[in-house]
Amino acid sequence: MDKIKSDIKSMLTPKRYKHILGVEEVAIELASRYGANIEKVRKAALLHDCSKQFTITKMRELCDCDETLKNYGHLGELIHGFAGSVYAKMKFGITDQEILDAIRYHTIGRRDMSLVEKITYLADAIEPNRDYADVEHIRHLAFENIDMAILHEADRKIEYLIKREAVIHPNTVDMRNWLLAKVKRGEI
């Protein structure tokens, strides 16, 4: 873990590294609350933005190394999760698919996320340096019902992206609708 932290610190700006440490802190707290594997959660949290400061060209090149990701080059900055999963595998030797998926989907989410994926997704959104409307409510919800917190965060994210006229990845919409359907069926 120390080697990962050291390497990540040297790759990122101080502001991005501070964000990473905030995500790690919240992820560990959520892992303790929900009984997730803390080592997996820490690795995913520390590596979730490992490619964030690469150029879009570099991120596309990384995605081209993985047959399943070759069609994601059009996503702009959203590609960093996909590229990060490839980079984490190449640079840090991460082979655990749950950790790689947590890195891959930490921004856009997806239906049927594992607990490690949910924690990484949510920790990224609510770490202590985040400051947006409703963040305190979502932080509170995160420790009561992780799925409801993700649903509220997805609603907020979609609304924000619509106002910015930004691309919304279909996974985010699908995840939100899947969670909403579970709420309506009384499963959450």
Range of the domain at 68: 2-132
Instruction: Tell me the pTM.
Output: 0.93
pLDDT-derived band of residue 73, with 50, 70 and 90 as boundaries?
A: low
Residue 188 forms part of a structural domain: no
CATH for 6: 1.10.3210.10
pLDDT at 107 over 80: yes
pLDDT at 72 over 60: no
φ, ψ of residue 6 in degrees (nearest 5): -65, -50
Residue 100 forms part of a structural domain: yes
Residue 51 forms part of a structural domain: yes
Residue 150 forms part of a structural domain: no
Separation of alpha carbons 4 and 92, rounded Å: 7
Separation in Å, CA 36 to CA 93, 107, 125: 21, 20, 18
Residue 46 forms part of a structural domain: yes
pLDDT at 9 over 80: yes
Number of domains making up the chain:
1
pLDDT-derived band of residue 64, with 50, 70 and 90 as boundaries?
A: confident
